[in-house]
Amino acid sequence: MRHQKHYFKMETKTESDMVIIEGPVDSDTLRTYTFDDNLTAFRRPDEQFQALVEIAELPEGRIIVSHINKHIVGYIIFLHPDPLERWSDGNHSFIMELGAVEVALPCRGLGLAGKMLELSTYDDFIENYIIITTEYYWHWDLKNSGLDVYEYKNLMIRLMQRAGYEVFQTNDPEITGHPANTLMARIGKNINDRQMQQFDEIRFKNRFLI
């Protein structure tokens, strides 16, 4: 599949700032932006910013950002699943992963994650993908949210559902290892029965082994 990326942009006003939400953003543009020190959920901010730049260069990679005067305060990453994980079995070009969504602590609760997710669906080309997202509680900021794992799980499900993601069952040990961990996926409108079946096979790998 030749991956096509179509750029979209929106603006939203907070009490004090104008936030630009845009993407997919290319690597050259990203390099002209700065990255907020509070974006620490997945890696050190400098390492995560470098990862964003590299993923933007991948043929399938999509980076959606929220920024205030070119200072990134939130992002979403889309790319093919990690080759070391079961979700990449078969190397299907139609399977993508929402690898991370994060908003800097001072900017949370303003609707930025919801708006970035909404913007990510504007490009009709994503209707050619099954986009999975594996939600593991160890990435969640329980401390600052004041939520317990199940409340946070519900927050994530509600957030993702607004962009067309649904909860899917799987026998993946990382997901089944804790009841708060969740597999969600967004099934693009152009996905056919054969592709759905291939996705089912990945979700329930080794089903008949004891």
Ligand X SMILES: CC(=O)SCCNC(=O)CCNC(=O)[C@H](O)C(C)(C)COP(=O)(O)OP(=O)(O)OC[C@H]1O[C@@H](n2cnc3c(N)ncnc32)[C@H](O)[C@@H]1OP(=O)(O)O
By beta-carbon proximity to ligand X, the closer residue of 138 and 208 is 138
Whether 168 and 123 have beta carbons less than 8 Å apart is answered as: no
Contact between 113 and ligand X by CB under 6 A: the answer reads yes
Which range, of 21-29, 94-102, 169-177, 199-207, touches ligand X by CB under 6 A?
94-102
Closest to ligand X by CB, 4 vs 178, is 178
Nearest to ligand X of 25, 183 (CB atom)? 183
C-alpha span between 33 and 56 (Å, rounded): 13
Q: Which of 22, 36, 135, 172 binds ligand X (CB under 6 A)?
A: 135
Cα distance between residue 199 and residue 201, in whole Å: 5
Stretch binding ligand X (CB under 6 A), from 16-24, 27-35, 144-152, 198-206: 144-152
Between 50 and 145, CB nearer to ligand X: 145
**48 contacts 92 by C-beta, under 8 angstroms:** no
DSSP code string of 27-80: HHHHHTSEE-TT--SSS-HHHHHHHHHHHHHSSS-EEEEEEETTEEEEEEEEES
Listing DSSP states for 119-161 in one string gives HHTSSGGGGG-EEEEEE-GGGS-HHHHT--HHHHHHHHHHHHH
Under the criterion CB under 6 A, does residue 54 sit at the interface with ligand X? no
Structural tokens at position 129: 């993908």
| Residue 100 found at the interface with ligand X (CB under 6 A) | yes
- Selected binder of ligand X within 20, 41, 51, 157 (CB under 6 A): 41
Q: Which residue in 21, 96, 103, 119 binds ligand X (CB under 6 A)?
A: 103
Residues that bind ligand X (CB under 6 A): 41, 98, 100-103, 108-114, 133, 135, 139-141, 145-147, 155, 158-159
